[in-house]
Amino acid sequence: AQVEAMRRFGRLLGMSFQIADDVLDYLATEEEVGKPVGNDLKQGTVTLPLMLARHDPGVDGRLEAILEKATLQDADYAEVVRIVRDSRGIDESYGYAKTFGDKARAELQAFPPSPFRDAFEALTYYVVGRRN
């Protein structure tokens, strides 16, 4: 039972981490994350913040107008980043990251209290709140 709980913990923590990392691609500075802001977008990777922003009524087709272009310029990428930052896609993505972190933490209840369990619990908070 503990092996399965740890497997689920790892999967859920990984989901939380990946979503938080995807949000950082839109919010953090290049100095904070060590890669250009919007790097995933420039590589053609569609992540959760962009997907959720596209469904924000306030965005009103502005993302599609840019993303449907045959070739995107730096100004286009910057505008997409700005639109995503201003959309509810960021907050909703953080909500998903937090939910996965909460579920991961719940899996740790299969283990008795210990400094190791405490460290894993702390990790679930860290991945959502990190800035690099």
Q: Does 29 have pLDDT greater than 80?
A: no
What total number of domains does the chain contain? 1
More confident call, 43 vs 28: 43
| CATH assignment at residue 111 | 1.10.600.10
Please state, in angstroms and rounded to a whole number, the distance separating the CA atoms of residues 63 and 39.
Answer: 17
More confident call, 65 vs 33: 65
Q: What is the pTM of this model?
A: 0.88
Rounded to the nearest angstrom, the gap between the alpha carbon of residue 84 and the centroid of all alpha carbons in its chain is: 12
Q: Does 119 have pLDDT greater than 90?
A: yes
pLDDT digits (tens, 9 = 90+) for 92-114: 999 999 999 999 999 999 999 99
Q: Does 132 have pLDDT greater than 60?
A: no
pLDDT digits (tens, 9 = 90+) for 42-99: 888 999 999 999 999 999 899 999 999 989 999 999 999 999 999 999 999 999 999 9
Q: Does 131 have pLDDT greater than 80?
A: no
Domain span at 101: 2-129
Alpha helices for the chain (secondary structure H) = 2-27, 30-33, 39-42, 48-54, 62-67, 74-86, 89-107, 115-129
Label residue 33 by pLDDT band (50, 70, 90). Answer: low
